[in-house]
Amino acid sequence: MPRRHPPPRVHLFVCSNTRPATDPLGPGCGENGARVFAVLKEEVAAARAYNTVWVTRTRCLGICPKEGCTIAHWGSNVQGEILSEVDEDTARALVRRLLSG
Ligand code: FES
């Protein structure tokens, strides 16, 4: 029988999908997503919020920005949202806002 676990307070999904530069949908979030993912993990570690804020790298979330990357988040007591054109500074501010709420 599967074991049940409580959901995190918030779960962030970060696109780091990469496509060929010639793809009609654009090159994807790629390295921008990888950098934002690293920043999010650093912020969560600095806050020692491993159990309450989860960060997961994903493939395409369906909104492919020309700059930055796309993040989707939701959780047990936060309003979910999808953000695009996210850079490292926005990611830091997002984690701090989510942790303070
Ligand atoms: S490639 Fe990142 S949202 Fe589509």
- Mean per-residue pLDDT of the chain: 95
Residues of the chain with pLDDT under 70: none
Distance CA 14, CA 80 (A): 14
Choice from 18, 19, 60, 85 to test ligand 1 binding pocket (greatest atom count within 8 A of CB): 60
Residue 36: predicted pLDDT: 98
Q: Which two tokens stand for residue 92?
A: 């830091």
Q: Is the CB of 15 under 6 A from ligand 1?
A: yes
Distance CA 12, CA 81 (A): 10
Q: Is the CB of 78 under 6 A from ligand 1?
A: no
Residue 76: predicted pLDDT: 81
Residue 44: predicted pLDDT: 97
Residue 78: predicted pLDDT: 80
Query: Which residues sit opposite 74 in a β-bridge?
Result: 11
Which pTM does this prediction carry?
Answer: 0.93
Residue 49: predicted pLDDT: 96
DSSP E strands, the chain: 10-15, 53-58, 69-74, 81-86
